[in-house]
Amino acid sequence: MVVSVTGMDSLGDRAAKMREALQKSQTITDNVVSILGSFDSRLSALETAMRPTQIRTHSIRKAHENIDRTLKAAEVILAQFDISRQVGSIGYQNFALLSCF
């Protein structure tokens, strides 16, 4: 088997270029892993810092919902009082008319 010198040089050059590309790829991979690790730790710190705010917001939202429900119930009760007052007024007028006879 005869291999020309230029063929070996070309093969060696290709292998060197592949090693260089592999090294660059590994460096990029390591940098991305480092960036993602940093992002993950900062995100965890942010979530930890935000947790009390989320709990407080939930409590405020729940209180707001309770106030809304209470106001709606009060409106229903007031409407019933208005109806009762109107019926009472009509009944009083009818009583006054009947007492005239």
In a domain, 88, yes or no: no
In a domain, 52, yes or no: yes
What mean pLDDT value characterizes the chain? 88
In a domain, 2, yes or no: yes
Residue with tokens 């409590």: 59
Two structure tokens written together for 96: 């006054």
Number of domains in the chain: 1
Residue 83 has pLDDT above 80, yes or no: yes
Give the dihedral sign, CA 11/13/14/20.
positive
CA–CA separation, 100 and 94 (whole Å): 10
Per residue in 51-68, pLDDT (tens digit) is 999 999 999 999 999 999
In a domain, 92, yes or no: no
Looking at per-residue confidence, does 89 or 45 come out higher?
A: 45
Q: Which pLDDT score is estimated for 7?
A: 64
Q: Which pLDDT score is estimated for 1?
A: 47
